[in-house]
């Protein structure tokens, strides 16, 4: 008997020691011929929430990546490395005095808001068409430009010299390693990241994530969530059959939520709350579909 074609979103808990690709490789095999991809890469050092999209839900990967992320990170003062974390070539700065808790508390607000951040040399950023980490591994220190990233909140959870634990809420493209590196530079002693746990992406949290070791081909379907879950924070409009037909053809439909401003994104759903499309409000009072899930006749 042929297996059902699986669709949906999996909130996976990635263990440390695996790349994100290694974590989802078995899932990709189980769901073939459907597509499978993940939103927001975690380095091998890191563990935590890895959102896996299956089938048509892969169209939502970029949307999920743009949502707020929350991390719990541990940094060690008085140490630096070429990777900005403990996996690299570590150098101990024994002569630099370690900061006090007050010093740390005074410095942290400078890393909240829209900040300029240089990615780590060992990162996936492209430099002249090549990944920065590939250049760094060859001994070519890539010149990386600062980028604007958004850090919404930093909370100091614990500090016992030299170990600092922070909770960080941030936007897409933020490197947690870089925050630790720059904080260490600011305080004059250096710092590197030794642990990282992603506890949330948008509505997906670590408490409800499925551990990779508990996942099997037979129970995967049970853990898949509907695509609508990924965009539950968006305004929602229920479509008529006529509207669904128009969306399937890429045509605009009338806006029934007049309070929404031009440019607002919203979820368009069927009468049984299945995600049919994502759309954007246009200035003529219509909705232009941007990602369509519903199939035409």
* Gap between the Cα atoms of 165 and 168, Å rounded: 10
Q: Parallel, antiparallel, or unpaired for β 204-205 and 69-77?
A: unpaired
Q: 3-state DSSP call for residue 185? A: helix
* Gap between the Cα atoms of 64 and 281, Å rounded: 20
Instruction: Identify the CA nearest to 49 among candidates 287, 271, 279, 208.
Output: 208
Query: Which helix (H) or strand (E) covers residue 77, if one does?
Result: strand 69-77
Q: 3-state DSSP call for residue 246? A: helix
What the block records as the tokens of 63 is: 């949307």
Is 214 a known active-site residue?
no
Question: Which one is catalytic: 25, 43, 103, 218?
Answer: 43
Q: Give the CB-side neighbour count of residue 191, counting CA atoms within 13 A.
A: 29
Q: Give the CB-side neighbour count of residue 27, counting CA atoms within 13 A.
A: 34
Instruction: Identify the CA nearest to 8 among candidates 295, 216, 205, 226.
Output: 226
Give catalytic residues, as residue numbers.
43
């Amino acid at each position: 008997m042929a297996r059902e074609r699986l669709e949906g979103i999996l909130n996976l808990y990635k263990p440390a020691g695996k790349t994100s690709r290694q974590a989802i490789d078995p899932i990709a095999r189980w769901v073939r011929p459907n597509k499978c991809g993940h939103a927001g890469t975690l380095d091998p050092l890191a563990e935590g929430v890895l959102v896996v999209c299956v089938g048509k839900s892969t169209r939502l990967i970029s949307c999920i990546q743009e949502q707020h992320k929350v991390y719990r990170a541990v940094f060690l003062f008085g140490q630096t490395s070429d990777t900005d974390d403990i996996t690299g070539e570590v150098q101990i700065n024994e002569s630099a005095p370690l900061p006090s808790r007050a010093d740390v508390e005074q410095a942290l607000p400078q890393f909240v808001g829209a900040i300029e951040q240089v990615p780590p040399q060992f990162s996936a950023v492209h430099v002249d068409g090549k990944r920065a980490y590939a250049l760094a591994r060859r001994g070519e220190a890539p010149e990386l430009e600062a980028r604007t990233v958004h850090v919404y909140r930093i909370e100091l959870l614990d500090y016992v010299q030299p170990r600092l634990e922070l909770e960080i809420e941030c936007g897409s493209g933020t490197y947690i390693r870089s925050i630790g590196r720059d904080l260490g530079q600011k305080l004059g002693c250096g710092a590197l990241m030794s642990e990282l746990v992603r506890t949330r992406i948008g509505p997906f949290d670590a408490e409800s994530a499925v551990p990779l070791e508990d996942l099997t081909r037979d129970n995967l379907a049970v853990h898949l969530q509907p695509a609508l879950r990924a965009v539950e924070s968006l305004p929602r409009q229920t479509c008529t059959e006529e509207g669904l037909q128009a969306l399937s053809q890429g045509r605009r439909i009338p806006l029934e939520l007049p309070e929404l401003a031009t440019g607002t994104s919203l979820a368009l759903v069927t009468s049984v709350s299945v995600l049919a499309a994502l759309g954007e409000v246009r200035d003529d009072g219509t909705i232009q579909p941007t990602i369509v899930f519903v199939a035409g006749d």
